[in-house]
Amino acid sequence: MAGLFISFEGIDGSGKSTQAKLLANAMERAGHDVVLTREPGGSAGAEEIRSLVLEGDPDRWSAETELLLFTAARRDHLERLIMPALAEGKIVITDRFADSTRIYQGTRSGDLRQMVDQLHDLVIGHEPDLTFLIDMDPDIGLSRAKGRGGTEERFEDFGADLQHKMRAGFLNLAQQYPDRFRVIDGTRDIDTVAAEVLRIAYEAVKNRKSNA
Ligand code: ADP
Ligand code: TYD
């Protein structure tokens, strides 16, 4: 049986990691075979690229080089982890996937969006079955993300204006791909969000069974 590929998307600090983990735990408890992963990263090679791209001087890479690094990381993640797990019928839950590149790289340099799409078609060519967009006002997301600390401040440091653009970009993508996107109000408390996410994920599991 083919697996199920679920992604979480949204601006920094919206609660993606929290919700991805809760969903993975709940599905595991229900007896499903689950792989929880994240981007950039998720495989050994991609995790190395993650530190190259998220740490250090923000001007270290040109926008084009950065896009290539994110895409190279995704290709490795897909080859080594995601595709093999799906082929074994597992549920793969990833914290960010290609929609993040469409929005982050595509929004920061508007003229890059075409290159983002071309590269995706050329070397990735896969979309999740289900994408949760955890949506919220960026001012809330930013203060949550800042509270978390750590050394990967690079993208969060771009500030509120950019995050507002990202939010609008994600909502646009959700309209563009209504079949796989579900927009979730991330301003509610963690358990309320998790319950809605779990209900929708189980619907997808049921549909997968009836389509199999
Ligand atoms: P993301 O992965 O989208 O950047 P996280 O899941 O790391 O977001 O959450 C950012 C911070 O906000 C964490 O400290 C987390 O505990 C907290 N948080 C997550 N979801 C909620 C929520 N629904 N309400 C309040 N705080 C939350
Ligand atoms: P992540 O660890 O998910 O950050 P957060 O938990 O704060 O949301 O992702 C790190 C940063 O990398 C985040 O600011 C978004 C950025 N990013 C891109 O710019 N392009 C991409 O393709 C991906 C996957 C992430």
Q: Which of 145, 136, 129, 139 is nearest to 183 (CA)?
A: 136
Angle, CA 139 vertex, CA 135 and CA 144 arms, to 5°: 80
Could you tell me the pLDDT band of residue 58, with boundaries at 50, 70 and 90?
A: confident
Residue 77 identity (one-letter amino acid): H
Q: What is the mean pLDDT of residues 2-21?
A: 95
Q: What is the mean pLDDT of residues 175-203?
A: 98
The answer to whether residue 2 scores a pLDDT higher than 80 is no
Q: In percent, how much of the chain has pLDDT > 90? A: 77
The structural domains of the chain, ordered by start, are 4-211 (3.40.50.300)
Residue closest by Cα to atom 21 of ligand 2? 101
Which of 9, 11, 12 is the best mutation target for the ligand 2 pocket, counting ligand atoms within 8 Å of the beta carbon and taking the most? 12
pLDDT of residue 28: 98
Could you tell me the pLDDT band of residue 126, with boundaries at 50, 70 and 90?
A: very high
pLDDT of residue 150: 63
Which residues contact ligand 2 via a Cβ below 6 A? Answer: 12-13, 16-17, 39-40, 54, 70, 95-96, 100-101, 104-105, 145, 155-156
What digits encode the pLDDT tens for the residues 161-173? 888 999 999 999 9
pLDDT of residue 149: 61
Q: How far away, in angstroms, is 211 Cα from ligand 2 center?
A: 33
The answer to whether residue 48 scores a pLDDT higher than 70 is yes
What digits encode the pLDDT tens for the residues 66-120? 999 999 999 999 999 999 999 999 999 999 999 999 999 988 776 799 999 999 9
Tokens at residue 6, please? 């679920």
The answer to whether residue 14 scores a pLDDT higher than 90 is yes
> Rounded to whole angstroms, how far apart are CA atoms 210 and 204?
10
Angle, CA 136 vertex, CA 130 and CA 138 arms, to 5°: 125
Q: How far away, in angstroms, is 11 Cα from ligand 1 center?
A: 11
> Rounded to whole angstroms, how far apart are CA atoms 192 and 187?
10
